[in-house]
Amino acid sequence: MRPQKLSEKLVALVEKEQRSRKKILLIYGDCCSVITSLEARPGVVRTRGHNCCYLLLGLDRYRQLSHEGAFFILPEWIHRWQEVFRDELGLDHEHAVLFMGEMHRKLVYLDTGVIPVPLDLLRDCATYCGLPFEVLPTPLDTFREAIETALSRLETSEGPL
pTM, 2 dp: 0.88
Same domain, 29 and 75: no
Kindly tell me the sign of the dihedral angle through the C-alpha atoms of 139, 141, 147, 150.
negative
Q: Are residues 33 and 63 in the same domain?
A: no
Residue 24, domain extent: 3-49+141-156
Question: Is 161 inside a domain boundary?
Answer: no
| Residue 104 domain flag | yes
* 107 against 3, higher pLDDT: 107
**Which helix (H) or strand (E) covers residue 96, if one does?**
helix 93-103
For residues 10-33, give the mean pLDDT. 90
How large a percentage of the chain has pLDDT more than 90?
Answer: 84
Q: Which residue has the higher pLDDT, 70 or 28?
A: 70
Please tell me the predicted confidence (pLDDT) of residue 161: 59
pLDDT, greater one: 78 or 28: 78
Report yes or no: 136 and 108 within 8 Å, Cβ to Cβ: yes
Together in a domain, 84 and 97: yes
